Amino acid sequence: MFPDANTGYTYEDCKATADWLLTQTGLSPLVGIVCGSGLGGLADLLKDQVVFNYKDIPNFPQSTVHGHAGRLVFGTLKGRACVCMQGRFHLYEGYPIQKITLPMRIFKLLGVETVLMTNAAGGLNQDFKVGDVMIIKDHLNMPGLAGNNPLSGPNDERFGVRFPCMSDAYDRELQQLALDVGQDLGYGDFLREGVYCVLGGPSFETIAECRMLSKLGADAVGMSTVHEVIVARHCGMRVLALSLITNQAVMDYDSEEKANHEEVLETGKQRAEQLERLISTMVARIEHNNNYV
């Protein structure tokens, strides 16, 4: 089934996919995880796994990017039922924006209440270093400002309201939990907070674009996450998103640096274990009556 360009997937399409998954797993996860480029190792930590290749899931797109395995993994992490996307979808892969974000509605219909996302991003903030982990506190949605929003088209109230608020997109308690867990694990010296800016990609930014984004208030730039956040918030799930700063955005015409995907994946490898520990410790401390332990 392919969504109508103007309407996206219907509620019934999403329900059919969620029910298909629930029938096969018998597991109703409360936590959903989306892994960024080169950060899919987190899914391997899940116990009692039930794994689906994206190509076998009705309505699901395929992963086409190196570093995104294309598997949906169900299981338990620290005893909590989770579902983990080992690979996400991006606008530059050529999918309609409703298809990129379809998994968020499936998460919701599976019973997910909290979504934890990671991404790889270029650092615009001059105080950031490669390997820093930025807790996203807000975003700049460049495709959205230009009219490409995943909620465009008819609104189905069973998912959410026509005009959802985004000033509380990133859950403040989850941000505090990430800071607390990071401190407890001794990660304070590489944990940051900031604003993530999404662009369409796949080309990396010019120097002039990086300078502009920095002046506009962005601390990191990437090609994902924000579309998923909008759809997740629309249907009432709480969101935490983390950017791994995999490269410094080039801001200077004298610089010899050139952004490239290999560096992104390499930085991911170096920081993966700590990021996995941060997220799994958070999962253990998330309570689903809106409290954290």
Ligand X SMILES: Nc1nc2[nH]cnc2c(=O)[nH]1
Ligand Y SMILES: O=P(O)(O)O[C@@H]1C[C@H](O)[C@@H](CO)O1
Give 172-201 as a DSSP string.
HHHHHHHHHHHHHTT-GGGEEEEEEEE---
The sign of the CA dihedral 228, 230, 232, 238 is: positive
Nearer to ligand Y, 110 or 244 (CB): 244
Binder of ligand X out of 246, 274, 280, 281 (CB under 6 A):
246
Cβ distance 106 to 239 under 8 Å?
no
Catalytic residue among 81, 223, 232, 237: 223
Nearer to ligand Y, 67 or 160 (CB): 67
Binder of ligand Y out of 101, 119, 274, 281 (CB under 6 A):
119
98 binds ligand Y, rule: CB under 6 A? no
Which tokens go with 274? 């700590």
Catalytic residue among 92, 193, 263, 266: 92
Which tokens go with 248? 């410094």
Site string for ligand X, 117-146 (x = CB under 6 A): ---xxx------------------------
Cβ distance 182 to 278 under 8 Å?
yes
Active-site residue flag, 288: no
Q: Residues for the chain: how many in total?
A: 293
Q: How far apart are CA 85 and CA 226, in angstroms?
A: 16
Site string for ligand Y, 50-69 (x = CB under 6 A): ---------------x----
Which tokens go with 6? 């103007």
Cβ distance 204 to 124 under 8 Å?
no
Active-site residue flag, 223: yes
Which tokens go with 23? 């029938």
131 binds ligand Y, rule: CB under 6 A? no
Stated as kind and residue range, the H or E segment containing 214 is: helix 207-216
Binder of ligand Y out of 86, 224, 248, 274 (CB under 6 A):
224
Cβ distance 119 to 225 under 8 Å?
yes
Give 231-242 as a DSSP string.
HHHHTT-EEEEE
The nearest distance, CB 198 to ligand X, in angstroms, is 8
36 binds ligand Y, rule: CB under 6 A? yes
Nearest residue to ligand X, by Cβ distance, number only: 122
Site string for ligand X, 164-203 (x = CB under 6 A): -----------------------------------x-x--
Active-site residue flag, 146: no
Q: How far apart are CA 235 and CA 186, in angstroms?
A: 34
Stretch that binds ligand Y, among 74-82, 153-161, 222-230, 281-289 (CB under 6 A): 222-230
Catalytic residue among 43, 68, 205, 234: 68
Active-site residue flag, 68: yes
Question: Which residues are designated catalytic?
Answer: 37, 68, 90, 92-93, 120, 223-224, 247, 261
Q: Which residues bind ligand X (CB under 6 A)?
A: 120-122, 199, 201, 204-205, 221-223, 246-247, 249, 259, 264
